[in-house]
Chain A
C-alpha cells in the first residue's frame, strides 16, 4: 500500500504537471521548447535567446494565471469540504455564506457607481462586499436560532445571498451602459485574465494557510459526522471550531472571489468527487480536494481560452458546463455505491 510519503509525492507531481500544461497551452500557440526555455531562463538564468514577448507571455501571463488558478481551485474546494462537513449539508458550497453575492455587489458598486472614487480597486471593493455580506449573514444566523444550529446558518446564508444578488442586479440594470454591464458580467462569471504575479503572492499563501488550518482541525471535522451534539460529546469545542473554520472559509473564499470573480461548482463538486474516491476521513479528504480543485480549475482556465479561437469564455461558464454533468455522475455513483 502506498505510504503517505509516496502519496504526497504523487500529488505534488500531478500538480506540477498540470501547472506546466497550463503554461504551455494558451490563446496563441507557443512551441513547448520555447515554453521550457523561457521557464529555464527565469528560474535558473539559463541564458537562452528568446523573443522577449514570448518570454514575457510565459512568465508574466501564463505562469501566474496557472498558479492563481491552482490556488483558487484548491482554496474553494477546501472551503467546500469544511462547509459541507460543518453544516451537515451536501449542497453547501463556499458561496453559501453570502460571500460571492456580497463580492458581486462590492465589485459592482466600485465599477459602476465609482464608489471609492477610483482609490478602491475592483478587487478591494469585492473583498469588502464579501466580508460585509458574511457579517450580515452571521448576525442573521445568530439572531434566528440556537448558537450552534446548522439549519439557520444555511437559511441565513440563502437569505443574505438573495439580498445581495438582488442588489447587484438592481445596480447593473439601473446604472450600467452595455459596455460596463458586459465588463462586470465578465468579472462576475469568473475571469483569470487580469492576474499577474501580485495576485500569486496573495492567493497562494492564503490557500496554503487555509488548507493548513483545516488540516489542523481534521479530527474535529471527523467528529461532526453524526451531528453537532455528537461532536461535542467527542470532546470538540463546537462553537470555537465552528467560528474558526467558518471564519477561515469566509476569508479564503472572499480573497479568491475578489481576485477572480465567482467561479462556481468547484467548491460543490470537487469535495463530493473526493469523498466518492477516498471516503470520509478528513486527513485524506482535505488534501485530495485541494489537489482536485487545483487541477480542475487549471484545466477549466485552459479550456476557457482555447475552446473558441480568439475569444475568451468566462471560467465560471466552463466550470458550470463541466461541473453540472460531473455532479450528476457523482450522484448516480453514490446511489450505485449503496
Chain B
C-alpha cells in the first residue's frame, strides 16, 4: 500500500505560443519520498516544477496539493506547504545573508504573529543545515555562486515546508557541497522533488520521473527506470551498472553513444534507408 499522495497532477499540459512544453503529465508524489526528475535539457523539468508549485498556470489539467486544487488555495497557504528553490534567483540589493534566509519566514508572519525568537531560531537552524552559519553577516554581493545557492536552500528550509521543490540545486556547487546538500535534503523529513542533471546522484532518490520533450516517459525506482535502453533512447548515452566493492552500491558508468540521435543517415538519394532509432 502506498503512502498518501501529497501532491499530484493529472493530464497536465503547458503551452507557450504554440509550443507544447509539457503534454499529459500525470504524477503522484508520495509523502516523505524523494522524487527525482531527470531528463535532457529542454525536456521540461523546470516547467514541471513551476507548475507543481503553482508559479505558472497550466493550459490544461490540474494540480492538487493534499487533495485540494491548487487554484483554489491562497498563495499564502500554498507557501506554508511548499517551498521552491529556483535554478536562478538573484538580486542587486546588498541584502545580508541572515535577512535573505529570514525571508523564508514571510508565509508565517502576519500582523498578529510578528517576528519572534522562534523565527530567529528557525533561520539559524536553516543556516546550520546548509553549513552557512559563518556567512550570516555577509552581504549577498560578496558571496560566490555556490554560497548563494546554499543560502537559497536555507531560505526554503526556513519556510518549514512539507514539500520542498528544488530545481537543479547542485548546479554551481563544488563537489563537497553537492554531496552534503543532497545528504541534507534526503535526511529531511519533508517530501522532496528534485530536478537533477547528474544521473548518479539521481540514483539516490526514492523514485525517478524521466521527462523527454515534455512527456513523462518513465516513473519508478531509479534502478528500474534508468535502464541502458532508457539511457540510450532518452539521454543518448551508453551506460551500464557497476557494483562498488566499497559498500555494495550500484553506480552507473556512462559512455558517449556514437550511434546516438543525430548520426548520419543512409539514403539512396531519394529515400532514407536507415533512420536513427529515437
A: residues with CB less than 8 A from B are 88, 90, 219-220, 222-223, 225-227, 229-230, 232-238, 275, 279-281, 334, 337-338
Using A225-B91, A232-B54, A235-B80 as known contacts, say yes or no to A281 and B106 having CB atoms under 8 A apart: no
Find chain A residues with CB under 8 A from B90 CB: 226-227
Smallest beta-carbon distance B111→chain A, Å: 9
Smallest beta-carbon distance B72→chain A, Å: 14
The answer to whether A234 and B104 touch across the interface, beta carbons within 8 angstroms, is: yes
The answer to whether A90 and B106 touch across the interface, beta carbons within 8 angstroms, is: no
Find chain B residues with CB under 8 A from A234 CB: 79, 103-104, 106-107, 159
Across the interface, A280 reaches (CB within 8 A) one of B55, B79, B94, namely B94
The answer to whether B86 and A232 touch across the interface, beta carbons within 8 angstroms, is: no
The answer to whether A281 and B99 touch across the interface, beta carbons within 8 angstroms, is: yes
The docked-state distance in angstroms from the alpha carbon of A237 to that of B82 is 15
The answer to whether B103 and A233 touch across the interface, beta carbons within 8 angstroms, is: no
How many residues belonging to B are interface residues under a CB distance threshold of 8 Å?
35
Across the interface, B84 reaches (CB within 8 A) one of A233, A280, A334, namely A233
Using A222-B103, A234-B106, A235-B107 as known contacts, say yes or no to A229 and B55 having CB atoms under 8 A apart: yes
The docked-state distance in angstroms from the alpha carbon of A235 to that of B79 is 5
The docked-state distance in angstroms from the alpha carbon of A324 to that of B71 is 47
Closest to A240 in B: B75
Smallest beta-carbon distance B167→chain A, Å: 10
Find chain B residues with CB under 8 A from A88 CB: 91-92
* Closest A-B pairs by Cβ, 7 of them: A235-B79, A235-B107, A235-B76, A233-B84, A226-B89, A280-B93, A237-B75
The answer to whether B83 and A280 touch across the interface, beta carbons within 8 angstroms, is: no
Smallest beta-carbon distance B103→chain A, Å: 6
Using A225-B100, A235-B76, A334-B94 as known contacts, say yes or no to A230 and B86 having CB atoms under 8 A apart: yes
The answer to whether B93 and A236 touch across the interface, beta carbons within 8 angstroms, is: no
The answer to whether A219 and B91 touch across the interface, beta carbons within 8 angstroms, is: no
Find chain A residues with CB under 8 A from B55 CB: 229, 232-233
Smallest beta-carbon distance A40→chain B, Å: 40
The answer to whether B86 and A219 touch across the interface, beta carbons within 8 angstroms, is: no
Closest to B100 in A: A225
Closest to A148 in B: B55
The docked-state distance in angstroms from the alpha carbon of A32 to that of B222 is 84
B141 at the interface (CB under 8 A from A): yes
Using A232-B54, A338-B141, A338-B142 as known contacts, say yes or no to A226 and B91 having CB atoms under 8 A apart: yes
The answer to whether A280 and B106 touch across the interface, beta carbons within 8 angstroms, is: no
Smallest beta-carbon distance A281→chain B, Å: 7
The answer to whether B103 and A223 touch across the interface, beta carbons within 8 angstroms, is: yes
The docked-state distance in angstroms from the alpha carbon of A335 to that of B107 is 33
> Beyond A279-B99, A338-B139: 17 further Cβ-contacts under 8 Å?
A88-B91, A88-B92, A222-B106, A225-B103, A226-B90, A226-B100, A226-B103, A226-B152, A229-B55, A229-B84, A230-B86, A232-B75, A233-B84, A234-B159, A235-B76, A235-B106, A280-B99
Using A226-B89, A233-B83, A338-B139 as known contacts, say yes or no to A279 and B75 having CB atoms under 8 A apart: no
Find chain A residues with CB under 8 A from B92 CB: 88, 90
The docked-state distance in angstroms from the alpha carbon of A280 to that of B95 is 6
Find chain A residues with CB under 8 A from B104 CB: 234
Find chain A residues with CB under 8 A from B139 CB: 337-338
Closest to A222 in B: B103
Smallest beta-carbon distance A125→chain B, Å: 38
The answer to whether B93 and A219 touch across the interface, beta carbons within 8 angstroms, is: no
The answer to whether A229 and B86 touch across the interface, beta carbons within 8 angstroms, is: yes
Smallest beta-carbon distance B148→chain A, Å: 10
Find chain B residues with CB under 8 A from A338 CB: 94, 139, 141-142
The docked-state distance in angstroms from the alpha carbon of A226 to that of B79 is 15
The answer to whether B89 and A235 touch across the interface, beta carbons within 8 angstroms, is: no
Jot down 16 A-B pairs with beta carbons below 8 A, ordered by A.
Answer: A90-B92, A220-B106, A222-B106, A225-B91, A226-B91, A230-B84, A233-B79, A233-B86, A234-B79, A234-B107, A237-B76, A238-B75, A280-B99, A281-B99, A334-B94, A338-B141
Closest to A225 in B: B91
Smallest beta-carbon distance A148→chain B, Å: 10
The answer to whether B89 and A229 touch across the interface, beta carbons within 8 angstroms, is: yes
The docked-state distance in angstroms from the alpha carbon of A236 to that of B84 is 13
B144 at the interface (CB under 8 A from A): no
The answer to whether A227 and B89 touch across the interface, beta carbons within 8 angstroms, is: yes
B172 at the interface (CB under 8 A from A): no
The docked-state distance in angstroms from the alpha carbon of A334 to that of B78 is 37
B96 at the interface (CB under 8 A from A): yes
Find chain B residues with CB under 8 A from A281 CB: 99
Find chain A residues with CB under 8 A from B80 CB: 235
Find chain B residues with CB under 8 A from A229 CB: 50, 55, 84, 86, 89
Closest to A223 in B: B106
The answer to whether A237 and B106 touch across the interface, beta carbons within 8 angstroms, is: no
The answer to whether A219 and B109 touch across the interface, beta carbons within 8 angstroms, is: yes
Find chain B residues with CB under 8 A from A230 CB: 84, 86, 89
B176 at the interface (CB under 8 A from A): no
Smallest beta-carbon distance B168→chain A, Å: 15
Find chain B residues with CB under 8 A from A275 CB: 93-94
B74 at the interface (CB under 8 A from A): yes
B65 at the interface (CB under 8 A from A): no
B53 at the interface (CB under 8 A from A): yes
Closest to B74 in A: A237
